[in-house]
Amino acid sequence: MPNHAQIHLDPRSPLVLDTRELPRRPGAMRTVTRVVPAPADLGLELIRVPEGADLTLDLRMESVSEGVLVSGTASAPVAGECGRCLRPISDTVAVTIQELYAYEHSTTDETADEDEVGRLQGDLIDLEPVLRDAVVLALPVTPLCREDCPGLCPECGVHWDELPAGHSHEQVDPRWAALTQLHQKEE
């Protein structure tokens, strides 16, 4: 669930939506399309949206009886490294967003926990927590450069697809070395 902690919102922030122009009657709607710089730390350890990258928002704000329903899509480039071979990865992520932001002093205050539903702060909506949750959940925990990535040789650290077919690092346990010598004499 998004963290909807009450902090003072800056209406000039790119991820803060202003609802003053949206009438507070159910059915009223306004679309928001904008490209904003991605916030810091939007991602996981191996893959993330680079800070400042173009984050494209295509949203619809709808007045409902309890507040404002924000729905739509967000897309951004992602960069990281393969979880098997550590090669660089670049791709895009597109997520769907749908979140209700309740009006202050609405009946939602009585029927929902504080962290269950987003809250409008005056006329402002903080989109960052919902966006962060959607993007992070859409990213793979172990990103791959390709589905069949063989990874690295655990002994020498070279990419498996760059090694010859018979590549190995056979290490004989010293306790069995005498048996290995017997096997070689038979050949």
The per-residue pLDDT for 166 is 76
Q: Which of 66, 62, 74 is nearest to 31 (CA)?
A: 62
The per-residue pLDDT for 37 is 95
Three-state DSSP class for residue 130: helix
Is the model's pLDDT at 105 over the cut of 90?
no
Say if residues 10 and 125 touch (Cβ distance below 8 Å): no
Average pLDDT over the chain, rounded to whole?
84
The per-residue pLDDT for 169 is 73
The per-residue pLDDT for 184 is 63
How much is the pTM? 0.75
Q: Give pLDDT tens digits for 45-93.
A: 999 999 999 999 999 999 988 889 999 999 999 999 999 899 999 999 9
Phi, psi (degrees; rounded to nearest 5) at 60: -130, 125
Q: Give pLDDT tens digits for 109-162.
A: 666 566 666 777 888 999 999 999 999 999 999 999 999 998 888 787 778 887
Place of tokens 């909506």: 125
Is the model's pLDDT at 3 over the cut of 80?
no
Helix (H) or strand (E) holding 183: helix 177-186
Confidence of residue 98 (pLDDT cuts 50, 70, 90): very high
Q: What is the mean pLDDT of residues 7-35?
A: 87
Is the model's pLDDT at 171 over the cut of 90?
no
Task: Tell me how far apart the alpha carbons of residues 19 and 122 are, in angstroms, rounded to a whole number.
Answer: 9
Q: Report which of residues 134 and 1 the model is more confident about.
A: 134
**And the tokens for 134?**
């959607």
